[in-house]
């Protein structure tokens, strides 16, 4: 399959490598330049649209609008192209993209992913896919290469982004829950290591608890998923809740906490750094 990729950040690069390794022909454009072995780099995003499918891994709604929509590039795409949007975008923007792709005659599949760059490197992402069945069938071979499992969310692309935003909201809540639990236990003499051994072995053994408890134990928050991106996703969740006319108090709390983390100069650290404001506000690692 001929595959275009737009956006070669930490995730996009690993996805590109795996697609090349699987025998696909990959062409890519990246705003910051760079290269990936086996990938043909092109000078404009329009060139990446001359493929069977194009996968965009851009940071947010504004980036997709700036790169693709403002220049009306979808109207220059190869006939039959399916556009796979793997970024985490707002539900409202996803609805807008449905209309725009329909008018341009371009297939549209939502495919936000669960997983960090190390998971992407192993080809073990969880892909939350939604779109028309014909478009999904066309891009399924590529999605299977980059994933441990493709989860079908429905025929309407906004469904997939609602699911992804909800997942990230819950992870942020889990991080803050661990931090607050450490305050209760550590101030009463119980070490973080012993407490997390308890909860990982009993009530909370899921991947977010396994991954982020280690960061809290070490008080180290080296970038995996940046706090600035976590703040963006919590903003998207807050907007979706507002559009639904519902108040989500736990979401409101972690949204404020993530904003405080970014305001404290930790936007480029892992988003689990929100725990530092609760547990070690004066002892952040250098």
Under DSSP, the state recorded for 270 is: B
- Beta-sheet pairing, 82-85 with 107-110: parallel
Burial of 251 (0-12, 13-18, 19+ CB in 10 A): buried
Pick from 132, 179, 134: nearest CA to 157: 132
Tokens representing 117? 């760059």
Whether 164 sits among the annotated catalytic residues: the reply is yes
C-alpha 1/C-alpha 4 separation (Å) is 10
* Interval 152-176: pLDDT, tens: 999 999 999 999 999 999 999 999 9
Which residue has 């396994």 as its token pair?
210
**Residue 27, SS3 per DSSP:** strand
Residue 250 has pLDDT above 50, yes or no: yes
Does residue 286 surpass a pLDDT of 60? Answer: no
- Provide the pLDDT confidence category of residue 234 given band limits of 50, 70 and 90: very high
Sign of the CA dihedral with 216 first, then 222, 224, and 227 last: positive
| The predicted structure's pLDDT at residue 223 | 84
Listed in sequence order, the residues at least 6 apart from 155 whose beta carbon sits closer than 8 Å to its beta carbon are: 130, 131, 132, 133
Q: Is 2-155 a CATH 3.30.160.270 domain?
A: no
DSSP letters along 77-117, please? SPTT-EEEE-S---HHHHHHHHHHHHHHT-EEEE--EE--H
Helix 157-186 × helix 192-201 angle, to 10°: 130
Predicted local distance difference test score (pLDDT) of residue 141: 97
Quote the pLDDT of residue 283: 53
Selecting among 138, 140, 164, 232, the annotated active-site residue is 164
Here the tokens at position 79 are 């006939």
What's domain 162-279's architecture? Orthogonal Bundle (1.10)
Query: Is it the case that residue 280 has pLDDT exceeding 90?
Result: no
Q: Quick one: pLDDT at residue 29?
A: 97
- Res. 149: pLDDT tops 90: yes
Residue with tokens 């991106």: 229
Run of H or E including 133: helix 133-146
- Is the predicted pLDDT of residue 139 greater than 70, yes or no? yes
Instruction: Please tell me whether residue 171 adopts helix, strand or coil conformation.
Output: helix
pLDDT exceeds 90 at position 182:
yes
Report how far residue 157's alpha carbon sits from residue 94's, in angstroms, rounded to the nearest whole number.
Answer: 7
Residue reference for tokens 């819950």: 170
Domain boundaries, the chain: 2-155, 162-279
**Residue 24 binned pLDDT confidence (cut-offs 50, 70, 90):** very high
Average pLDDT rounded to a whole number, residues 88-116: 97
Residue 94 tokens read as 């996803």
| Residue 34 confidence class, pLDDT cut points 50, 70, 90 | confident
pTM of the model: 0.92
From the DSSP assignment, how many helices (H) and strands (E) are in the chain?
Answer: 12, 9
């Amino acid at each position: 399959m001929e595959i275009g990729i737009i956006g070669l950040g930490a995730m996009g690069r690993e996805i590109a490598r795996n697609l090349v390794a699987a025998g696909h022909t990959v062409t890519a454009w990246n705003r910051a330049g760079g290269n990936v072995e086996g990938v043909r780099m092109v000078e404009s995003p329009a060139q990446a649209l001359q493929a069977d499918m194009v996968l965009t891994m851009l940071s947010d709604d504004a980036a997709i609008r700036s790169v693709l929509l403002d220049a009306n590039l979808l109207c220059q795409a190869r006939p039959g192209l399916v556009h796979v949007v793997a970024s985490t975008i707002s539900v409202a923007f996803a609805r807008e993209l449905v209309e725009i792709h329909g008018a341009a005659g371009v297939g549209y599949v939502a495919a936000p992913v669960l997983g960090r760059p190390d998971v992407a490197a192993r080809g073990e992402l969880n892909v939350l896919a939604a779109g028309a069945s014909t478009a999904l069938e066309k891009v399924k071979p590529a999605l299977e290469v980059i994933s441990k499992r493709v989860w079908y969310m429905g025929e309407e692309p906004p469904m997939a982004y609602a699911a992804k935003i909800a997942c990230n909201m819950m992870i942020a809540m889990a991080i803050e829950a661990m931090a607050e639990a450490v305050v209760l236990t550590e101030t009463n003499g119980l070490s973080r290591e012993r407490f997390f051994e308890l909860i990982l072995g009993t009530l909370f053994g899921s991947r977010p608890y396994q991954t982020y408890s280690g960061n809290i134990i070490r008080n180290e928050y080296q970038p995996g998923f940046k706090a600035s991106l976590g703040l963006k996703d919590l903003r998207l969740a807050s907007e979706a809740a507002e559009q639904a006319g519902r108040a989500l108090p736990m979401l409101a709390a972690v949204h404020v906490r993530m904003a405080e983390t970014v305001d404290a100069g930790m936007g480029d650290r892992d988003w689990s750094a929100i725990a530092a404001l609760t547990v070690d506000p004066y002892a952040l690692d250098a």
